[in-house]
Amino acid sequence: MLEEILLKVSRIDAFHGTFQALWDVTLTINPGEIVAIVGANGAGKSTLLDTISGLVHPSRGSIEFEEKDISALEPYKIVDLGISQTPEGRRVFPDMTVLENLIVGSYNRRARSLRERNLQRVYQLFPLLKERKAQLAKTLSGGQQQMLAIGRSLMSNPKLMVLDEMSLGLAPLIVDELYKVLREIRQKGITILFVEQNVRRSLLEASKAYIMESGRVVLSGNASALREEERIKKAYFGA
């Protein structure tokens, strides 16, 4: 019996100008999963996310979301379909307030009518954002901006949330909080794909993982199985 597939990336190549950033990359995400893409800097993880979001178009291969080919679509159409990326470095709109950032998050047609409901959901997950709703985003700390960025993604009513280096530059305690929220988001039926450099942490949180090196997927599978895998232990945990 065929398992339902939410996102299917098939054998894509992607370039930054003349530099090939992705080589023959394949990945599959099923509804309700929490999937990690792990690897060092420059492994191509961000490019993969940008390709999924339509900011980069693959030169070969295809990307299908809910069985619809999205590889040639403009980024705003992909948001309309239900994929929302929380970008690396948060990228909150600095001169807008917390509330304005969240409202912009509900810009796409599907999300506008659900704005109030989603806003209450975000406030319930991140009470801090409710407290500081009139505060300018650029005055928030790194951790608070990350919460805002995640909240903003949630406002778009996504089916798949994609997070690029969520824990970058944040204290471990805050990272713990964020992963806790991700688990709650997953309970609400939203599928999660996240990119991380911290291999050990990723394999603890994810159900499935893809290990990338130099633009290729070198290993993939069930997260707990990967944790035991000798190659991983040697390469990333220094066993």
Binding residues (CB under 8 A) for another protein: these are 53-55, 74-76, 79-80, 84-85, 87, 91-96, 100, 103-105, 107-108, 111-112, 152, 156
Nearest distance from C-beta of residue 100 to another protein, angstroms: 6
Closer CB to another protein, 23 or 107, in the complex: 107
Question: In sequence order, what E strands does 39-114 have?
Answer: 60-65, 68-69, 83-86
Closer CB to another protein, 99 or 128, in the complex: 99
Q: CA–CA distance from 11 to each of 23, 25, 62, 222 (Å)?
A: 8, 5, 7, 20
Closer CB to another protein, 163 or 209, in the complex: 163
Nearest distance from C-beta of residue 229 to another protein, angstroms: 33
Residue 187 CA to residue 66 CA, distance in Å, equals 20
Tell how far CA 125 is from the center of its chain: 18
Residue 107 CA to residue 100 CA, distance in Å, equals 11
Closer CB to another protein, 101 or 209, in the complex: 101
Residues 6 or more apart whose CB falls under 8 angstroms from that of 115 comprise 103, 106, 155
Nearest distance from C-beta of residue 172 to another protein, angstroms: 26
Closer CB to another protein, 7 or 209, in the complex: 7
Nearest distance from C-beta of residue 117 to another protein, angstroms: 17
Residue 122 CA to residue 118 CA, distance in Å, equals 6
Nearest distance from C-beta of residue 102 to another protein, angstroms: 11
Candidates 169, 174, 236; CA nearest to 202 is 236
Nearest distance from C-beta of residue 7 to another protein, angstroms: 16
Residue 126 CA to residue 128 CA, distance in Å, equals 5
Two tokens, residue 104: 């912009």
Candidates 53, 81, 31; CA nearest to 164 is 53
Closer CB to another protein, 37 or 49, in the complex: 49
